[in-house]
Amino acid sequence: MDFTKILSQELKWSYKGTEQAVKLLEEGNTIPFIARYRKEATGEMDEETLRRLAERFEYLKNMAKRKEEVLRLINEQEKLTPELEESIKKAVTLQKLEDLYRPYRQKKRTRAGIARQQGLEPLAQVLLDQALLAGDLLLIAGEYINADTGVESAEAALSGACDIVAEQVADDADIRNLVRKVYYSKGQLVVKGESKESTPYEMYYEYKEFVRTLPPHRTLAVNRGEKEGILQVKISVPTEEIIAEIGKRMITNPKALGLKYIEHAITDGCQRLLLPSLEREVRSSLTQTAELQATKVFSNNLRNLLLQPPVREQIVLGIDPGFRSGCKLAVVDDTGKVLDIGVIFPHKPQQKSAESIKTIQKIAEKWDLTAVAIGNGTASRETESFISQLIGEGILPVKFTIVSEAGASVYSASPLAAREFPDMDLTYRSAVSIARRLQDPLAELVKIDPKSIGVGQYQHDVNARELNQALGAVVESCVNTVGVEINTASPALLQHVAGLNSAVAEAIFTVREEKGRFKERKELLKVPRLGARTFQQCAGFIRIAGGLNPFENTPVHPESYEIACSILEKIGFGVEDLSIKGAQIRLALEKIEITSLAKEVQAGVPTVRDIVEALKRPGRDPREDLPPVLFRQDVLSLDDLHEGMVLQGTVRNVVDFGAFVDIGVKQDGLVHLSQLSDRFIKHPMEAVALGDTVKVSVLSVDKVRGRISLTMKGIE
């Protein structure tokens, strides 16, 4: 099997580029490294395509192994025909392969299996051949009566033969494919349920929907309700129509002796074996599709969250809100260093407002605060109102923003947090994390298991292993897209750099602690367990601000330093000019024709293009080009909202059916898919992304249930 040809056709990529990408992956190169530094080889295959290629390549390899195994197993039974062998070799999906193998798979004790042990397979073949037009079928069946095998009568023999035929109906690959298509074209998901208490599943108590139109998020909702014992779920199909269609295929002689037995076996095989089997398969397939979609939504949201723009050069007060236990405070400087911690009790039951105001005022004056980050958990809106009041009265001359605190408590109790803050009570660590999330979301959020960040839909209902793999790939991609300053990065951040792992990240951290700052990338080669191969993969994603070589604060890989020097020479500058003549260099590079320059320096066009972009803005953080964080100075309540009111908000979550937007009240508002855009869109992600600042208009407010409906349509 030519894997490269298959992959090339599926990905619509050149054969040569696909072949090189496969080769680079097989050699152990990381996807970020290939996507960034091997563009000439792959034809500039991007990271997303590379990940799809890697996943599909693994699938094809596994299928090839499975084909070999299936051929061996069938051959051992001496049932492998040339036709069957050819069909197996031509199978393009694991499902088709397993359908072909199904009749030969060793089964548990079944009625058909017992009948075969009783020697009734020849009688079943008589029924299937449909060659007998006259005679006494009971007399023929009587020849199989055998007390030793348990066949006591001719009727029992025919019953056993029918069981064998029924199983063949259920195992036939063509019949299964026929009925599978009916499930997807005409099948209806039928849901019933009831509960004495209010549940989130009330809309499904009497519910029907065609399988072909069932949205992924609805599949997961129904699955959860079924798991909790509230819903009963089945797939309804036109059974009589299916039985009739199978009959057309299997009954080749309407005048055959024993026709009624064949018809009975078809009906029995369909109802008892085939339909239940395919219903389980289709439910499983729907769930798998829904899980993939949920994972995709979670991954996209996580990417947008991790790539939120950092808030630089700010002294931040992080607040982890609470009622009974109070609001924990942490002040961090512009590098994330903790300056102060404390607690206030501005809310019920203590409601020590005066003391809380004095504490905040003292902190603001002592540390010259410039921003406040409030966690969005319990008591968030009450804390927001308290801070807003202080800002309005001039006590706190700063702006504030709401920061997702998802996973902060998980981080607080983690060994990593204990190592960072061994002498700090874990209740204050959350406030530190909230403050740092505002300053550099990526550096702080990589310390937390991505599943705990909670930016998706039904993430706890999907396959944990696949979700972990997908989210891990997102974290790796984001970290390497931004790059990592090696002299300030935590081991938690370093371990996501291409080629590195937790052990090597710890080794880098230890060397830095013992010997001080790294001045050159090549010093990494002195780190234990970091060899030349690992250095090649990670070096381009490492940044060293103020190092010996200005290139080291850019994405230019050490293997391309000579090319970068040549490019600078072509425009009349040297390496040392990067840090002092940036504007002149950028202006000169804008006038360069890339294709001609690539020929002059004898390098590939993609590599030269990337080096030129890197030299234009050394030290650039790609997140800085994104819209800034939305800060506020006041708050609203549900009572302040009215229909038609236009507000500015921040997208906090994107799901299949819409987007949740923080507009500064206690509850995020929902912009339904149908209200996201004036143009037709199939998915919310076509219109918005997590973290976007958007303008919305209020459609309705349900104060009883605390629900706000918003629209983005018709807003300029």
Looking at residue 11, what is its pLDDT? 96
**Domain extent listing, the chain:** 3-104, 111-187+237-298, 316-475, 502-625, 638-711
Looking at residue 667, what is its pLDDT? 84
Strands 338-344, 371-375: pairing is: unpaired
Looking at residue 484, what is its pLDDT? 96
E strand map for 90-134: none
Distance separating alpha carbons of residues 290 and 297, to the nearest angstrom: 10
Distance separating alpha carbons of residues 46 and 12, to the nearest angstrom: 13
Element of type H or E holding 399: strand 399-403
Looking at residue 106, what is its pLDDT? 86
Closest by CA to 448, choosing from 416, 419, 401, is 416
Q: Collapse the DSSP code of 276 into the 3-class scheme (helix H, G, I; strand E, B; otherwise coil) and give the result.
A: helix
Q: pLDDT digits over 337-374, tens only?
A: 999 999 999 999 999 999 999 999 999 999 999 999 99
* Residue 434 pLDDT level (bands cut at 50, 70, 90): very high
Distance separating alpha carbons of residues 201 and 199, to the nearest angstrom: 5
Distance separating alpha carbons of residues 445 and 460, to the nearest angstrom: 19
* Residue 464 pLDDT level (bands cut at 50, 70, 90): confident
Q: Which CATH number fits domain 3-104: 1.10.10.650, 1.10.520.10, 3.30.300.90, 3.30.70.2860?
A: 1.10.10.650
* Residue 681 pLDDT level (bands cut at 50, 70, 90): very high
Distance separating alpha carbons of residues 201 and 207, to the nearest angstrom: 10
E strand map for 511-594: 542-543
Q: Which residue type is seen at 476?
A: E
Distance separating alpha carbons of residues 436 and 309, to the nearest angstrom: 12
Please give the model's pTM, rounded to 2 decimal places: 0.86
Give me the numbers of helices (H) and strands (E) for the chain, helices first please: 30, 15
Q: 429 pLDDT exceeds 80?
A: yes
Q: pLDDT digits over 505-545, tens only?
A: 999 999 999 999 999 999 999 999 999 999 999 999 999 99
The fraction of the chain above a pLDDT of 70, given in percent, is 99
The tokens for 51 are: 């990940």
Q: pLDDT digits over 622-668, tens only?
A: 988 888 888 887 777 788 888 999 999 999 999 999 999 999 887 89
Q: 134 pLDDT exceeds 90?
A: no
Residues 6+ apart with CB under 8 A from 467: 291, 295, 298, 451, 459
Distance separating alpha carbons of residues 528 and 511, to the nearest angstrom: 9
Per DSSP, what are the bridge partners of residue 669? 661
Q: Collapse the DSSP code of 96 into the 3-class scheme (helix H, G, I; strand E, B; otherwise coil) and give the result.
A: helix
Q: Which residue type is seen at 426?
A: L
* Residue 160 pLDDT level (bands cut at 50, 70, 90): very high
Q: 28 pLDDT exceeds 80?
A: yes
Domain 316-475: CATH superfamily is YqgF/RNase H-like domain (3.30.420.140)
- Is the bond preceding residue 349 a cis peptide, omega within 30 degrees? yes
Distance separating alpha carbons of residues 316 and 435, to the nearest angstrom: 6
Closest by CA to 355, choosing from 367, 342, 366, 365, is 342
The tokens for 331 are: 């002040």
Residue 18's Cβ-count burial label (10 Å; 0-12, 13-18, 19+) is: buried
Tokens 């999907």 locate to 462
Distance separating alpha carbons of residues 355 and 358, to the nearest angstrom: 5
How far, CA to CA in Å, does 512 sit from each of 269, 516, 619?
69, 5, 21
Q: pLDDT digits over 569-590, tens only?
A: 999 999 999 988 989 999 999 9
Share in percent of the chain as helix, strand, coil (round to 5): 55, 10, 35
Backbone phi and psi for residue 341, each to the nearest 5 degrees, phi listed first: -135, 160
The tokens for 183 are: 């499930």
E strand map for 172-326: 188-193, 206-210, 231-236, 316-320
Per DSSP, what are the bridge partners of residue 146? 151
Distance separating alpha carbons of residues 83 and 89, to the nearest angstrom: 10
111-187+237-298 — its CATH code? 1.10.3500.10
Where would I find the H helices in 393-448?
A: 408-412, 415-420, 426-439, 441-445
Rg (CA), the chain: 33
Distance separating alpha carbons of residues 447 and 496, to the nearest angstrom: 11
Looking at residue 583, what is its pLDDT? 92
Distance separating alpha carbons of residues 242 and 177, to the nearest angstrom: 12
What value does the mean pLDDT take over residues 190-219?
93
- What is 327-387 written as a DSSP string? EEEEEE-TTS-EEEEEEE--STTT--HHHHHHHHHHHHHHHT--EEEEESSTTHHHHHHHH
Q: Collapse the DSSP code of 694 into the 3-class scheme (helix H, G, I; strand E, B; otherwise coil) and give the result.
A: strand
CB neighbours of residue 155 within 10 Å: 13
CATH 1.10.150.310 for the 502-625 domain, yes or no? yes
Q: What is the largest CA-CA distance in the chain?
A: 107
What value does the mean pLDDT take over residues 119-138?
92
CATH class of 638-711: mainly beta
Closest by CA to 336, choosing from 218, 237, 447, 258, is 447
Q: 457 pLDDT exceeds 80?
A: no
Contact between 208 and 190 (Cβ < 8 Å): yes
Per DSSP, what are the bridge partners of residue 700? 709
Contact between 145 and 159 (Cβ < 8 Å): no
The chain-wide mean pLDDT, for the chain, equals 93
Contact between 700 and 314 (Cβ < 8 Å): no
